[in-house]
Chains A and B, each alone.
Chain A
């Protein structure tokens, strides 16, 4: 047996006691601090634990849809009998991953899981890839997002390309071939990387033209503006260069027979080609989900393609997809004052356009838009002007605005052509939630579309209203397929135990430091 890694043991013990302490103190989330502590003690903690995962790690990146994809894929892998670990929504930086690893490993650093599915934001992707050396990478899309935080698109694409160049031999790259930028990245990836492109087959929900927010894609070979046989979401679609020198590559996984069921879900049939096609198990796979909108069809397809490539059987994939509930605020339903509220997160122009498009497929209902400008939302609210709120100009139901930037949103709607009389400003999100519910018919629907921190505020308010069991419920804190461990008293006992271990860990670290001097 190899000698125990003292630094790792110390890091884990300290992280675990920090985690217990934050839980005992009733602090919400606790997603970053344990990881912060762990990385301070052992900067290599992520790499060390990832290397001990029997089935390795899968990293999911993309501007939009990474949380949904990561959670759905985890559910599919779990349905296939694997023990899966996720990092939690909103904590997809390295310290969030370190937190997850610390919490889900034995004190010797042995993970209590077969595989980790880790989502990472655009900026952290290169560092996470370098640290975990993933067996599989899933790239969803690359849209402009929070320019104050992530910078411009080309900068991100270049960093991603560099990161892909460091993938281990034989790693798999599952990517959305409907995104020309990702195709260019995939082309430049090392020859040893296995490429699994996915995309949409012909469907009746195509866009007539690129929206203002869409990033016009230029051909990577000749610089000509790309054209589309079918445009699906933002700049995603069946693209080609008019000069004939470049086109969407042949798809390994394709979603056909796409049918959207309003805000209630979507279905499609997934077909494979390539390596899997001679397998009898690889007949077309019908997929029905509770995830609405064309954008979610992409994410279900991404998850199914990854799970199938990972060797999960089609029946398990379909079963997991059918019962999967959207994570934390990505189309979530709660009841307030006898009305059904549908919550859908908005983060950037393309995502917000899709959410608005989705709401317009449902019967009109009172709508609440909550805009905050904290760091996690993007401090710049200019993106509201790139979003096509003009789609709401003739919206027949009342529109309420709330959040730190409610007044900005009211101006945006006014210039979008929404009549003044239809717009109500309710600054406090808690009040606005009640107000929008009360404007709906008894037993009827209302819609809430908040930015990230506005969603957190909304959830807290909904919890106080008794509409949510827990602010940090299963969707945020642990996916439904991850067993919740222990009773409350058990937690307290373990907390005390880990507290003692943490103290030992810190002492051990000090010993290591002294020994080094």
Chain B
């Protein structure tokens, strides 16, 4: 049978500056190469979002000003729909600004809190300086490689599971060694790079989660030749240790 997956890309026009598009491209291509019919729907400010229409959410990082407009748009019906989907095991990958808005709130340095949609029991505030550099994060899907660039510090509430532990880099807050957060099938992290192209095992994990939820059973993924991806992963890991 032919499988199909629906990817919803949250605010691609506004949350688009740190190369996070590569994650959507990776999900799309890895599906296509396996004959899985993946479609990508972009959702922007003012657009409708209906619960039940999405198998995988993607939400990337953006500039501070854009993040304010996006936070406002997520409150109400849109945020409710996303929360409902996540509660019913839709998969999600959120990065940087998107990750922060999937938490409870973001507290800027000198203005009002930006409300989040509380998929993750975590909150963020603005730090004095930016965390900028290569990152290695140890996760259940191996060591992820990426690049962080954020002034926000994220703190996980008790009982919230980190996505990974930093080996190189700062991660959530530069203090507790945690990187990102995860709940059900939703993941948040600070890894640009983009993160999925050089971490194909985790990319396939997301695709697998989405297929299981959509079709009610595990769907075996056709293996792909990932030699190019693995070489880039290795090179990036070496680079991260060199530049730490």
Contact = CB atoms under 8 A, between A and B. Distances in A.
A404 B239 contact: yes
A423 B149 CA distance: 30
Nearest to B14: A216
Interface residues of A, number: 34
Interface residues of B, number: 36
Contacts of A406: 235
Summarize B's interface: helix, strand, loop or mixed. Answer: mixed
B236 A382 contact: no
A147 B231 contact: no
Contacts of B26: 415
A404 B231 CA distance: 12
Interface string A392-411: 00000000000011111011
Interface string A217-230: 00000000000000
A382 B132 contact: no
Nearest to A349: B19
Nearest to B32: A417
Contacts, number: 95
Give the most central of B19, B22, B133: most A CB within 10 Å: B19
A381 B132 contact: no
Interface in A363-420: 373, 379-386, 404-408, 410-412, 414-417, 420
B170 interface: no
Contacts of A154: 63-65
Interface stretch (B154-162, B178-186, B191-199, B213-221): B191-199
A408 B147 contact: no
A491 interface: no
Interface string B205-243: 000000000000000000001001101101110010001
B229 A411 contact: yes
B16 interface: yes
A144 interface: yes
A423 B229 CA distance: 13
B18 interface: yes
Given A216-B13, A379-B147, A407-B235, A385 B194 contact: yes
A147 B61 CA distance: 12
Contacts of B133: 379
Contact of A415 (B18, B25, B149): B25
A382 B19 contact: yes
Contacts of A360: none
Given A152-B63, A154-B64, A144 B12 contact: no
A154 to B, nearest CB: 5
B29 interface: yes
Given A148-B149, A412-B197, A415-B29, A382 B20 contact: yes
B17 interface: yes
Contact of B232 (A153, A373, A380, A407): A407
Contacts of B234: 407
A186 B13 CA distance: 26
A412 B65 CA distance: 29
Interface string A182-218: 0000000000000000000000000000001101100
A381 B193 contact: yes
A423 B17 CA distance: 27
A507 B201 CA distance: 64
A384 B229 CA distance: 15
Contact of A407 (B17, B231, B243): B231
A407 B228 CA distance: 7
A414 B21 contact: no
A166 B20 CA distance: 38
Nearest to B23: A385
Interface string B1-28: 0000000000011101111111001100
A491 to B, nearest CB: 38
A380 B240 CA distance: 11
Given A148-B132, A379-B133, A414 B19 contact: no
Contacts of A148: 132, 147, 149
26 contacts: A147-B149, A152-B63, A153-B63, A154-B65, A215-B17, A379-B243, A380-B149, A382-B20, A382-B22, A382-B192, A382-B193, A383-B19, A385-B19, A385-B22, A385-B197, A386-B16, A386-B17, A386-B21, A405-B239, A410-B228, A411-B228, A412-B197, A415-B29, A416-B25, A420-B228, A423-B228
Q: List the 5 closest pairs (A to B, CB-CB), nearest first.
A: A382-B19, A385-B22, A385-B19, A407-B232, A407-B235
Interface of A: 144, 147-148, 152-154, 212-213, 215-216, 373, 379-386, 404-408, 410-412, 414-417, 420, 423, 425
Interface of B: 12-14, 16-22, 25-26, 29, 63-65, 132-134, 147, 149, 192-194, 197-198, 225, 228-229, 231-232, 234-236, 239, 243
Given A379-B133, A382-B194, A411-B198, 14 more contacts: A147-B17, A148-B147, A213-B16, A373-B239, A381-B193, A382-B18, A386-B21, A405-B235, A408-B198, A410-B228, A411-B229, A415-B25, A415-B197, A417-B29
